[in-house]
Amino acid sequence: MHNKLTQNNSLPPREYSENLYSEDEIDLADLIRILIRQKWVIVGVTVLVTLGALLFAYRQPTIFQSEIFFRPPTSADVTLLNAHLGYARLDDNSTQLEPLVNLSMSSEELFQIFINELRSRQLRRKVFNEKYPVNEKEVASVDSVFDGFNERIKLNFHDDTKNTNPSKTVSVSFEDSDPQLAADILNVLGERADRRAVEIAMQDAEGKMNVKKKALNKKNDTLLVAKQHEINDEIIRLQEADTIKRKMLQGQIDALLAAKQQEIDDEIIQLQEADAIKRKTLQEAIATVKLQAKSKRQDRIALLEEAYGIAHKAQIKNSLAVNLGEKTSLSEKLGNMQLAINSLPLYMYGETLLRAEIDNLSTRQEDEPFIADLRSLEEKLKLLEENEKIEALQERKNLEPFIPEARSIQKQLLELDRNAKIEALKTRKDLKPFIPEIRVIQKQLALLEGITFDPNKIRSVIVDQAAYPPKSPIKPQRKKIVVVGLALGLILGIFTAFLMNFVRNMWQKEKEA
């Protein structure tokens, strides 16, 4: 073929072009013959690739895409975040007004907060945990599933330039195999982002109010502390004056008590001296009666010894005064014996009775039980040892009831201890009524407390179009995959046909060589 082209170069231009055109037709015909000869190869490769594409298309999971559209809120939606401006008079006599707190939040600022919440990974994770079903046994990691979930949430911005007052529209799309789940997730995400944006805006407004409240409370506390210091100083001054007066009155009472104590000591000494004289007289009387009792006992023994001697000489063994017959009772015998003893001389008692009495009197150790007045004297002596009046005077601790002048002084001391003004100052719990500035602060705090936010009346976004379950999937595009597979199969078949022809020609040339 190359030789033919070389030869044609020597021909005239017209003949050369005709020859070249004829040569091209021959080459195209050769190509067509090759394609016809390898038609089953082309058909086979095309069919195989098309079947593979078809199988691939139908093995791909069906993916649906749902989308939700948002617009910025209107001024009316954020009115509550801008209209609560509280004012209070600085004082009751002034006409000047003081703004309590400056609350301002534009719809664009609130919409930007909403967009930031849409991007929040934390919020998306909450929606994922609540709405996206995951079987932890079937997946290696829940975090990896969430990463895929998060990547399928797309945030798109659209500029609406047709409007005279352009505003930015935002859409969020989500892809999933379940169309209803995709729509639910977007609606829940939008609702949660709106709620969270409103909460943030309310927290910002409440934060500004809390700063003002804190400043007012601090001022309130400062005034209260200053007033308390003033009251404490006044209490100290009053207490010092009372202390001086109390010392003076206490000195008067001490002087009266000392005089009364000296009077009591003198009275005790007088009583003790009188008791000492009485005690000495009674002791002498007791000693005298004891001596007399001893002398009487010895005299009695002497009389009984003499009577015993007479009875011994007269041989009177038993008493002759009483007949102790067996027929009389014991009580009668004792009565008759007493009568006989009282009327007969001593020797008539008989030796037995006399000896018994003599022995008894001789061996007696103490005469005190037989002294009639001894116990009364001892009792009187003992009473002197325990003089109740002296003991009462010695044990008297409080002498004030016995000093008439002390009562009036004590009354004055009691009045000092119960200083009504000091007690009123000490028991004063609420200092606010005594501080005029606090009344103004309380009015301001009451106004701030009256400011409330209703989240149901605040919107951070307008849902321009809610998410709905899509009716048709976006993936896979099976027709496109099959068409592309058919085209690729045809191209691959033609390429295979030429390749097989080339290989065969090369093989034949090698065989001929």
Q: Under DSSP, is residue 67 helix (H, G, I), strand (E, B) or coil?
A: strand
Give yes or no for a contact between 253 and 400, defined as CB atoms under 8 angstroms apart: yes
pLDDT digits (tens, 9 = 90+) for 281-310: 878 887 888 788 888 888 888 888 888 888
More confident residue, 96 or 17: 96
Q: What is the mean pLDDT of the chain?
A: 77
pLDDT digits (tens, 9 = 90+) for 35-90: 777 778 778 788 888 888 777 767 767 778 899 999 998 888 877 776 555 555 55
Distance (Å, whole) CA 318 – CA 306:
16
Q: Which residues pair with 173 in a beta bridge?
A: 67, 154
Quick one: average pLDDT of 486-510? 80
More confident residue, 374 or 299: 299
As given in the structure block, the two tokens for residue 390 are 């002296």
Is it the case that residue 333 has pLDDT exceeding 60?
Answer: no
Q: Which residues contact 476 (CB under 8 A, 6 or more apart)?
A: 57, 60, 61, 62, 63
As given in the structure block, the two tokens for residue 200 are 């943030």
pLDDT at 476: 66
pLDDT digits (tens, 9 = 90+) for 102-143: 677 788 888 899 999 999 999 999 999 888 888 777 777 888
228, amino acid identity: Q
Give yes or no for a contact between 264 and 391, defined as CB atoms under 8 angstroms apart: no
More confident residue, 15 or 158: 158
Is it the case that residue 511 has pLDDT exceeding 80?
Answer: no
Q: Under DSSP, is residue 486 helix (H, G, I), strand (E, B) or coil?
A: helix
Is it the case that residue 94 has pLDDT exceeding 90?
Answer: no
Q: Which of 304-313, 472-481, 494-503 has the lowest mean pLDDT?
A: 472-481
- What percent of the chain stands above pLDDT 70? 82
Domains of the chain, with CATH numbers? 2-60+490-512 (no CATH), 64-222+452-465 (3.30.1890.10), 231-412 (3.30.1890)
Please state, in angstroms and as integers, the Cα–Cα distance from residue 107 to each residue in 78, 155, 156, 197, 205, following that order: 6, 20, 19, 12, 14
Is it the case that residue 165 has pLDDT exceeding 50?
Answer: no
Is it the case that residue 164 has pLDDT exceeding 50?
Answer: no
pLDDT at 374: 73
Q: Which of 2-11, 78-87, 209-218, 460-469 has the lowest mean pLDDT?
A: 2-11
User: Cα dihedral sign for 135, 140, 146, 151?
Assistant: negative
What one-character-per-residue DSSP string does 254-302 give?
A: HHHHHHHHHHHHHHHHHHHHHHHHHHHHHHHHHHHHHHHHHHHHHHHHH
pLDDT at 161: 46
Phi, psi angle pair for 464, to nearest 5°:
-70, -35
More confident residue, 218 or 330: 218
Q: Which of 12-21, 188-197, 423-432 has the lowest mean pLDDT?
A: 12-21
